[in-house]
C-alpha cells in the first residue's frame, strides 16, 4: 500500500514550473530517502503534500484519500513534519517548549509530553534550550513533530549542521521510530552517505520530476564494486574487454572502470598473458553518492 502517492503533480511560481508532473510512491512502513540538488523541488513537494501550499495541477493522495476529497484533512492529521527549523523558546526547557507547541496546535491536554521527551532522550534534561547542542535541538524538533502521534513523519534536512555525535543520535532515533513504532518516514537530505544507512527506498528528483524510484535492496544490486585500471594502450584493452564480454566504462585516455569481475589479481594475470600492460589497478566500492552523480549525468549536487 502507498501511504503517499502523487499523480502528475504540478506547482508553479511566477510561471516557473517547480513541480513538473511529478509522481512519487511511498510504501507503508518505508524510510523513503528523497534525493536531489537545491532547487529540484524537494521542499516544494513537501510543502504541497502537507497542505502549506496548493498544487496548480495533478493530485496527491494520503492513505488512499485524494486531496480533492474533503476527508483529506483527516488524513493530514496523521502526518508530522519538520520543514523549517521549529521555533523554540531559548529560555525554556525542552518540556516547556513542547507543551507550548502542543497548546498552539490545539491539543486538549499535554499528558503525552513526558513520553515524547523520553522517546527522544530528553526526559531528564532541565536546562534551557539555549544551552542545547544542535543534536539535542534536532531531537526536540522531532518530539514536536511527533506530538500529534503521526503515522507518517516528514523530515526536511534533519541533520544539517550537526556534528558526528548529533548525526548518530538522529539516525538512531529515525530507525527506532520506524522499526519499533512503525512510523513511515520521508527524509529529504543532501547527506547521502548517512541516508544510505537508514533508507529502505529512494526517490531521485531533478527539475521537478521524480526520475527514478528504487528499493534499497535493488539499489545495492546496482551499486557494484569496480576495478579502476590505468593502462598503457587503451584501444587494445577495449578490444580485449569486448572480445571477453567484460563490462567496462572508459574514464579517460588512460583509465577504465571494470565491473562484474570478482578477482582483481586474476584479471590482471589474464591481461598480462594477453600482453596488455596495466600501469595501476585498484578496487573501489560504489556509493549512493556516485550512483546519484551517474544518474544525474555526472552533475554533482
Per-residue confidence (pLDDT) for residue 294, from 0 to 100: 84
Where are the extended beta strands (E) located within the chain? 2-13, 16-22, 25-27, 31-35, 57-62, 65-66, 79-82, 152-156, 184-188, 201-206, 209-215, 226-231, 247-250, 255-259, 278-284
Q: Which CATH architecture has domain 2-215?
A: 3-Layer(aba) Sandwich (3.40)
- How far apart (Å, rounded) are the C-alpha atoms in residues 92 and 83? 22
Integer angstrom CA distances of residue 292 from 60, 70, 203, 222: 26, 38, 10, 11
- Calpha distance 134→165 (Å, rounded): 10
Q: pLDDT tens digits for 43-67?
A: 999 999 999 999 999 999 999 999 9
Residue 33 · residue 199 · CB < 8 Å: yes
Q: Which three cell numbers mark 30?
A: 518505508
Give the residue from 12, 1, 2 showing the smallest Cα distance to 60: 2
Q: What is the pLDDT of residues 128-153, one digit of tens each?
A: 999 999 899 999 999 999 999 999 99
Could you identify the residue written with the cell 552533475?
Answer: 299
Q: Are 288 and 196 in contact (CB under 8 A)?
A: yes
Q: Are 171 and 203 in contact (CB under 8 A)?
A: no
At 301 the pLDDT is 44
CATH of 224-285, one of 3.40.50.300, 3.40.190.10, 3.40.50.150, 3.30.70.1560: 3.30.70.1560
Domain boundaries, the chain: 2-215, 224-285
Cβ 42 vs Cβ 211: under 8 Å = no
- The SS3 of residue 238 is helix
Q: What is the dihedral of CA 180, 182, 184, 187, to 10 degrees?
A: 0
Please state, in angstroms and rounded to a whole number, the distance separating the CA atoms of residues 34 and 168.
Answer: 19
In angstroms, rounded to a whole number, what is the distance separating the alpha carbons of residues 237 and 271?
A: 8
Residues of the chain with pLDDT under 70: 298-301
What is the grid cell recorded at 250? 572508459
Pair 195, 185: CB distance under 8 Å: no
85: helix, strand or coil = coil
Longest dimension (CA), the chain: 80
**50: CB partners within 8 A, 6+ apart:** 76, 79, 81, 83, 154
Amino acid at each position: 500500500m502507498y501511504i503517499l502517492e502523487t499523480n502528475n503533480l504540478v506547482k508553479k511560481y511566477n510561471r516557473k514550473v517547480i513541480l513538473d508532473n511529478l509522481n512519487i510512491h511511498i510504501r507503508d512502513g518505508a524510510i523513503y530517502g528523497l534525493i536531489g540538488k537545491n532547487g529540484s523541488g524537494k521542499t516544494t513537494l513537501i510543502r504541497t503534500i502537507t497542505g502549506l501550499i496548493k498544487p496548480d495541477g495533478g493530485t496527491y493522495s494520503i492513505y488512499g484519500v485524494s486531496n480533492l476529497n474533503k476527508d483529506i484533512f483527516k488524513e493530514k492529521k496523521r502526518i508530522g513534519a519538520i520543514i523549517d527549523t521549529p521555533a523554540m523558546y531559548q529560555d525554556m526547557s525542552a518540556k516547556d517548549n513542547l507543551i507550548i507547541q502542543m497548546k498552539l496546535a490545539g491539543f486538549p491536554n499535554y499528558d503525552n509530553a513526558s513520553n515524547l521527551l523520553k522517546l527522544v532522550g530528553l526526559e531528564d534534561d532541565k536546562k534551557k534550550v539555549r544551552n542545547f547542542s544542535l543534536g539535542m535541538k534536532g531531537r526536540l524538533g522531532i518530539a514536536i513533530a511527533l506530538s500529534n502521534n503521526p503515522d507518517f513523519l516528514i523530515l526536511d534536512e534533519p541533520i544539517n549542521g550537526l556534528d558526528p555525535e548529533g548525526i548518530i543520535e538522529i539516525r538512531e532515533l529515525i530507525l527506532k521510530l520506524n522499526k519499533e513504532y512503525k512510523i513511515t518516514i520521508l527524509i529529504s537530505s543532501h547527506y547521502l552517505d548517512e541516508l544510505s544507512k537508514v533508507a529502505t527506498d529512494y526517490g531521485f528528483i531533478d527539475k521537478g520530476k521524480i526520475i527514478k524510484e528504487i528499493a534499497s535492496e535493488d539499489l545495492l544490486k546496482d551499486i557494484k564494486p569496480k576495478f579502476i585500471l590505468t593502462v598503457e594502450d587503451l584501444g587494445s584493452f577495449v578490444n580485449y574487454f569486448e572480445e571477453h564480454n567484460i563490462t567496462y566504462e572508459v574514464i579517460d585516455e588512460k583509465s577504465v572502470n571494470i565491473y562484474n569481475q570478482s578477482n582483481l589479481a586474476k584479471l590482471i594475470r589474464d591481461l598480462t598473458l594477453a600482453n596488455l600492460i596495466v600501469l595501476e589497478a585498484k578496487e573501489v566500492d560504489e556509493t549512493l553518492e556516485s550512483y546519484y552523480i551517474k544518474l544525474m549525468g555526472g552533475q554533482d549536487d
